[in-house]
Amino acid sequence: MTRMTVEQAIHQALREEMEHDPRVILMGEGVATKHRDLVEDFGAERVRNTPLAEAIMAGTAVGAAAGGLRPVVDLLFAPFLPYSMDALVNSAGKLRYISGGQFSFPMVAMAMTGAGWAVGAQHNHNLEAMFVHAPGLKVLMPSTPADFRGLLKAAIRDENPVLFFIDLGLLHQEGEVEARADELIPLGQAAVRREGTHVTMVSYAKTVGACLQAAEQLEARQISAEVIDLRSLKPLDEETVLASVRRTGRLIVVHEASGLCGVAAEIAALAATKAFDALRAPVVRLTGPDAPAASSWVLEQAGVPQAEAVVAAAVELVLGTSEHTRAVMAHY
Amino acid sequence: MTRMTVEQAIHQALREEMEHDPRVILMGEGVATKHRDLVEDFGAERVRNTPLAEAIMAGTAVGAAAGGLRPVVDLLFAPFLPYSMDALVNSAGKLRYISGGQFSFPMVAMAMTGAGWAVGAQHNHNLEAMFVHAPGLKVLMPSTPADFRGLLKAAIRDENPVLFFIDLGLLHQEGEVEARADELIPLGQAAVRREGTHVTMVSYAKTVGACLQAAEQLEARQISAEVIDLRSLKPLDEETVLASVRRTGRLIVVHEASGLCGVAAEIAALAATKAFDALRAPVVRLTGPDAPAASSWVLEQAGVPQAEAVVAAAVELVLGTSEHTRAVMAHY
Amino acid sequence: MNVSEHTEPVADHHGVPGPTHESATPEARLSSLETMMLIRAYEEQLVELQRGGAPGTCTSVGQEACAVGVIGALDERDRILTNHRSAGHLIARGADPGRMMAEVLGRTDGYCGGRSGSLHIASRELGVVLTSTIVGGELSMAPGMALAQKMGRGEPGGIVAVFFGDGAACEGIFHESLNLAVQWQLPLLFVCENNQWQAFVHRLETMPDRAIADWAHSHGLPTRSVDGNAVEEVYAAAARAVAEIRVTGSPQFLELVTYRQRGHFEPDDQSYVDPDELVAWRRRDPIQGYREHLLESGLIDPEGLAAMERRVRERIEAAAAFAQASAWPAPDRLTDHVYA
Amino acid sequence: MNVSEHTEPVADHHGVPGPTHESATPEARLSSLETMMLIRAYEEQLVELQRGGAPGTCTSVGQEACAVGVIGALDERDRILTNHRSAGHLIARGADPGRMMAEVLGRTDGYCGGRSGSLHIASRELGVVLTSTIVGGELSMAPGMALAQKMGRGEPGGIVAVFFGDGAACEGIFHESLNLAVQWQLPLLFVCENNQWQAFVHRLETMPDRAIADWAHSHGLPTRSVDGNAVEEVYAAAARAVAEIRVTGSPQFLELVTYRQRGHFEPDDQSYVDPDELVAWRRRDPIQGYREHLLESGLIDPEGLAAMERRVRERIEAAAAFAQASAWPAPDRLTDHVYA
Ligand SMILES: Cc1ncc(C[n+]2csc(CCOP(=O)(O)OP(=O)(O)O)c2C)c(N)n1
Ligand SMILES: Cc1ncc(C[n+]2csc(CCOP(=O)(O)OP(=O)(O)O)c2C)c(N)n1
Ligand SMILES: [Mg+2]
Ligand SMILES: [Mg+2]
């Protein structure tokens, strides 16, 4: 085991996979500037700065993937993905199906997002749910350095197009990482970060931390919370979520993205359709507001569900309603 | 009252609003070819064919709206919206907020989608949920000629950017339409198409028809179904949905778009979070599959929830499980 | 008619074929004619089927010389990307009209098992890959496919040809694609079939008259504009570009000036089309012109022509019978092929 | 240095100001210098604040002549769209550095109440509208704004100026925007500040050397490339373009060749920058050059300059104090302004 940051874990995954498979290439605006060591070790042919044009970056990844390469394209920030949307949604997501299975698109598109940089809604927009909704794509959004590394490696080896979202607020977070190069984390498996019996918290990315903090605080009140980190938003590990909800009977879903048609809606719907009989209380969604992200630090932070709100929701679910919890939750 | 098709209703709404407000302009690839009468009556300045470039079409609508016009941009088919996504999501949806309320973007972006033309996934992709998820936008998807007319007129008069989706399968459907030019239908109000007591069906666009058919068939079995047509996906009429679910205790959500993070997920989540105590049975989602739309007529139709499946789901919900209903529903 | 001033102009023959490329043997020329006739007959058959209720299509009637000329200049190593108006490219590449028609009808024997329909038929085995009906989709994927070729993932020496319309040149992705191909020096032939129409809008409503060649030229890649209705001119220009790309590894651009003789998507009454323009271009029909040329030059006689017509008709009739006899896909296979 | 060959070339003075536009009075020239100094001081203050923990910014150090020259050629009727590197445009237009700084710091007195931060500051009252940090966003909205002007929704006679970088010219929307403006004959001045950098990539990695002018020219609109570090040259070219646009109602294109002297976004160690290139361009600093020019020409003396520097320093100090004293927005106002 080695200690490293999320940023280092991503870099290591890229390096190892480029080592592992000569078909892996890395491209994007500034990737060759940023990963100069990779250029040195794998050559300028495999690590390519691109013109500033997200549509052709993504389209080129799609074409290269169909042509036999395994491209990783760094699209920088999630709000730039709309420029790439046609290539990702209409080409990568559909052309395998449309062609009757003749082609595959083994590629990864990376992008950062989330609060933490105070630069506003055109750099911070958690739009991962849009890609979960689109057919033919897979979507990852890890929370720990080990998962960033293991999932990115697995994504690069996957035969399908994968969107890999990087929560900006986690970039410098440290954690233990398994150093073996063949250590992959399969797509589609949620991680139970903490076991519990009274309430299930489902989250991903930065807000997993809020849930874990909340769970710790709840312990003092004799409330035992299970925390599930989805990691893989598509394929979604329905079984782990449902099994937990069936045990606890209570569900809180937490994420930074806004709520309407978001992942929390999907998880809540899952419980309401497939674990209804086990539910003992209303499902709770704690999400970012239906608003663009604000730049100002205080507003930016106010848009992210925090541990306090998770605690309040859990207390209300497990122990019943109170004025205080209502006030805290009204915020979300 | 006049009888007209959806296509005629759309045309009439455009004509009336251009008459009503000289700031209304219409633009898009082929709109001047298609609506030649509008060119004649309102001039080529207000009805403009554009180059084939969806990004600048949408961006131009955004800029024109901020500049004091009220543009309607026809983007033809929903799968072309990804090319327009930056203008719609990052500019129209966010720049009002980002600017601290300095600008408004009174504009409508129209697009067709849905099964019925057998031309495949690059013309048929129900991606309305992506725009519901995006902040700052409104999203409409009507089902009757009267609603197409009344909602399009209201959308044109709204101060915010509105996505107006046209279910291709409804284009030639006829219905009675109120002929008064000032007859608007406010955004954000669902329509109860049929009242019932045992089960609530929530749908929009083409599949409202499947629900109504199902409700009729269910009558013979003494099952009384309420059918709610959302019409406005954002703002969403939570109250009408919740009030119905609180009365019936049972909810089926039906739409053609795929399920993951779709509108049905949102409605199911709504019930599970805000009408939980009233729910007597699991929520049921009947949606298109998590797959691109196929071209072949039989596959295209198989991708759309039909009345039979709605009936089966309702019977199961109201009367309990049966092998037959399981078999029918396994399909979705 | 536009001819390029950016490289040596290719003579403008208004429908009469230009100088024959040396390598075009008599057999090759006869075969070019027959293939153009096959494309025409195939598409006319689709129009017939559409009248009977089959899904509509975008025919390439009037543009057959573009497909036959360019595809004829490619070989097996090369890969082709195309768009919604692709029947000519597929047939010129040797696709089976029966399997194509089955695809249009949504049947299991179609090239894509009925999932594509007419608008995105691809055939990996033929090297016709990544067909997109999103205008510009093919342009967005072409540099990546060419990069894969360049990096040794295709056949050695293979290049990529991407077909698109004048409308696609209005999409920003056109420029992004050209710029990337130039910056990365990719073995990519851009083929713009400038058929004057963009669905229901004439291209002069959307761009300056000489825009396509001017835009391409501004990206700094060798650019030729030729008469797209003269199959041998097209072939000559394409063969030269292909040969140069194989040597240099760098992209080139070919504008084929032609005309969409039928509507955008069947059925289409073309009421919005200037009848004079239409008539003028029909007079320059690529098949009619080439047929007369080959008759005049004695390469074929009226009997040979009649036999050719018969062969074509029989193939298309057989194709239609095959397609109509093909089974519908089973609804329970709806979600096959979404993921690998 | 690039100068346009497409229209009459404007002489290339390598940092020494070109011929003065007749209408530039001594006062105007002194004011240009002071405004450039104010922009520089404002941005250096932001760098200072960033070191103390404030959010980063994209400074326009080295590009002040572009902002001052072009904005100086516009008047109140006109509307401006800009991008992430907009401080110069705002200040040249008369924006209050205090309110700008408050915005960067996320405070209520900021132009956008703290919702924008540094990257998308807009001020409707100043006619600086629709600032987008999505590269190309400003280009996508510019034709629509110009259409609204043309259709009488703005001030009579007003035009639109849109500022963007060389990187934005790589985005397809650049071409879509130019083409639409040309086809629709919109009163729109495209201003490309070609500062050689696109974040962490030198533009010569992304485009041919002369690409920007060549691309623009291929769209058929009048195109000029001038030395973006020579404020009077910029002013002269912009004034002429603006005057022509007011008469013709049609778009024009201005490339300002300049250099981003600091990093892309503070903090940035510029380790990826060729030090020789950086030094060469710093020698051509627009403010230093103009200051010397005005001193030499006797328009100002060292004392006057010192007074000017003092005024600028005082304004910026006051601005910083104002910004830091401004209140944070209340968290419960988070969702204000989402909908109209
Ligand atoms: C992005 C996109 N916009 C619009 C359409 C609808 N459409 C299909 S073909 C076509 C015209 C394309 O013109 P051109 O590129 O010249 O090709 P042509 O049809 O003339 O062969 C249009 C507008 C589409 N398929 N994709
Ligand atoms: C669509 C998009 N892609 C990438 C970025 C990240 N980014 C911000 S500024 C910039 C460089 C832009 O270069 P240029 O247009 O030349 O403007 P400059 O920064 O040099 O003023 C980049 C890549 C962005 N904001 N938007
Ligand atoms: Mg065309
Ligand atoms: Mg730049």
C104-125 per-position pLDDT tens digit: 999 999 999 999 999 999 999 9
Q: Is residue D335, in this structure, part of any structural domain at all? A: no
Domain that holds residue D55: 21-323
Our answer on whether the CB atom of D133 is closer than 6 Å to any ligand 2 atom is yes
Closest to B268 (Cα-Cα) out of B286, B291, B256 = B286
B–C CB contacts, 8 A cutoff, strictly below: 117
Residue C4 lies in a domain: no
CA separation for the pair D165, D181 (Å, rounded): 18
CA of C169 to the centre of ligand 4 (A): 25
The single-letter DSSP state of residue D211 is: H
Domain at B191-331, CATH from 3.20.20.140, 3.40.50.920, 3.30.450.20, 3.40.50.300: 3.40.50.920
Across the B:D interface, residue pairs with CB atoms under 8 Å apart total 157
Indicate the residue of A33, A53, A289 with minimum beta-carbon distance to D171.
A53
Q: Give Cα separations from A265 to A252, B271, C90 (angstroms).
A: 11, 11, 45
Nearest CB partner across the interface for B292, out of A135, A261, A263:
A135
Instruction: Report the alpha-carbon distance of residue B251 to residue B267 in Å, rounded.
Output: 9
Contact B116, B172 (CB under 8 A): no
Residues bordering ligand 3, an ion, CB closer than 5 Å: C 165-167, 195, 197
- Report the gap between the CA of D194 and the closest CA in chain C (Å): 17
pLDDT at B321: 54
Residue B316 annotated to the active site: no
Give start and end residues of each alpha helix (H) in chain B: 6-20, 31-34, 36-42, 54-66, 81-85, 95-98, 128-133, 145-157, 206-219, 238-248, 263-274, 297-302, 307-319, 323-330
What is the structure's pLDDT at A181? Answer: 78
In a domain, C13, yes or no: no
pLDDT at B84 over 50: yes
Q: Amino acid identity of A31?
A: V
All residues of chain D having their beta carbon less than 8 Å from the beta carbon of residue C175 are 172, 174-175, 215
Q: Starting from the edge strand earliest in sequence, which strands make up the sheet with A47-49, in order?
A: A47-49, A24-28, A70-77, A107-113, A161-167, A138-140, A232-234
pTM here is 0.95
pLDDT level of residue C16 (50, 70, 90 thresholds): very low
D174-210 residue pLDDT tens: 999 999 999 999 999 999 999 999 999 999 999 999 9
Q: Pick the residue with more confidence: B327 or C162?
A: C162
D260 CB near ligand 2 (under 6 Å): yes
Please name the chains neighbouring D, where neighbouring means 3+ C-beta pairs under 8 angstroms. Answer: A, B, C
pLDDT in tens, C279-289: 999 999 999 99
Distance CA B76, CA B109 (A): 9
Judging by DSSP bridges, how do beta strands D197-198 and D188-194 pair with one another?
Answer: unpaired
Specify the pLDDT at position C3.
39
Average pLDDT over residues A67-76: 98
Output b/e per residue, B178-189; b: 16+ Cβ within 10 A: eeeeeebbebbe
C7 pLDDT higher than 80: no
pLDDT tens, D133-143?
A: 999 999 999 99
Query: What pLDDT does B179 receive?
Result: 78
As a whole number of angstroms, the longest Cα–Cα distance in chain C is: 57
The answer to whether residue C105 sits within a structural domain is yes
Look at chain D and report how many structural domains it folds into: 1
> What is d(CA D144, CA D173) in angstroms, rounded to the nearest whole number?
13
Structure tokens at A259: 């709520």
Q: Please give the average per-residue pLDDT across B283-305, as a whole number.
A: 97
Q: Catalytic residue among A11, A35, A123, A255, which? A: A123
| Alpha-carbon torsion (B238, B243, B246, B251), positive or negative | negative
Q: Ligand 1 atom 25: the closest Cα is on which residue?
A: C134
Q: Domain boundaries in chain A?
A: 2-177, 191-331
Tell me what the pLDDT averaged over chain B comes to: 95
d(C-alpha C50, C-alpha A49), whole Å: 48
Does residue C13 have a pLDDT over 50?
Answer: no
Q: Residue D159: give its domain's CATH number.
A: 3.40.50.970
Report the first-to-last Cα separation within chain A, whole angstroms. 39
CA angle A260–A262–A266, rounded 5-degree value: 110
Chain segment C85-96, per-residue pLDDT in tens: 999 999 999 999
Q: Is D25 a domain residue?
A: yes
CA distance D170 to D176: 12
Taking 60 as the threshold, does the pLDDT of residue C322 lie above it? yes
Give the pLDDT confidence score for residue C15 in this predicted structure: 32
Across D145-260, the runs of DSSP E, i.e. the strands, are 160-165, 188-194, 197-198, 201-202, 223-227, 252-257
Question: Encoding tokens for residue A331?
Answer: 């915020």
pLDDT per residue, tens digit, chain D (340 aa), is 333 434 433 333 333 333 344 557 899 999 999 999 999 999 999 999 999 999 999 999 999 999 999 999 999 999 999 999 999 999 999 999 999 999 999 999 999 999 999 999 999 999 999 999 999 999 999 999 999 999 999 999 999 999 999 999 999 999 999 999 999 999 999 999 999 999 999 999 999 999 999 999 999 999 999 999 999 999 999 999 999 999 999 999 999 999 999 999 999 999 999 999 999 999 999 999 999 999 999 999 999 999 999 999 999 999 999 999 999 999 999 999 999 9
- CATH homologous superfamily of domain B2-177? Thiamin diphosphate (ThDP)-binding fold, Pyr/PP domains (3.40.50.970)
In this predicted structure, what is the pLDDT of residue A326? 52
pLDDT of residue B320: 80
Dist. CA C67–CA C69, nearest whole Å: 6
Compute the half-sphere exposure of residue A153: CA atoms within 13 Å on the CB side of its CA: 24
Overall average pLDDT of the C138-167 stretch: 97
Mean pLDDT taken over chain A? 95
Position D27 scores a pLDDT of 93
Look at residue D170 and tell me if it is in a domain.
yes
Token pair of C161 as six digits: 């040809």
- In this prediction, residue A180 carries a pLDDT of 85
For residues C228 and C210, is the Cβ–Cβ distance under 8 A?
no
Q: What is the pLDDT of residue B180?
A: 85
Tell me if residue B9 falls in helix, strand or coil.
helix
Q: Does A51 score more than 80 pLDDT?
A: yes
Tokens of A154: 């697995």
Please indicate whether, in this complex, the C-beta atoms of C144 and A62 are within 8 angstroms of each other. yes
Whether residue D7 lies inside any domain: the answer is: no
Inform me whether the C-beta atom of residue B241 falls under 8 Å from chain A C-beta atoms: no
One fold for both A2-177 and A191-331? Answer: yes
Give ipTM to 2 decimals.
Answer: 0.95
- pLDDT attached to residue B268: 98
Do the beta carbons of residue B266 and residue B283 sit within 8 Å?
no
Is there a contact between C215 and C166 (Cβ–Cβ < 8 Å)?
no
- Span B125-130, mean pLDDT? 98
Angle at CA of residue A123, ends A118 and A126, nearest 5°: 100
For chain D, the distance separating the N- and C-terminal CA atoms, rounded to the nearest angstrom, is 47
Say whether A54 is catalytic.
Answer: yes
List, in order, residues 6 or more apart from C254 with CB less than 8 Å away. C70, C189, C190, C191, C192, C223, C224, C225, C226, C237, C238, C241
Q: If you ran DSSP here, which 8-state letter would residue B80 be given?
A: G
Q: Looking at residue D123, what DSSP letter applies?
A: B
Hey, what are C114's tokens?
């009925």
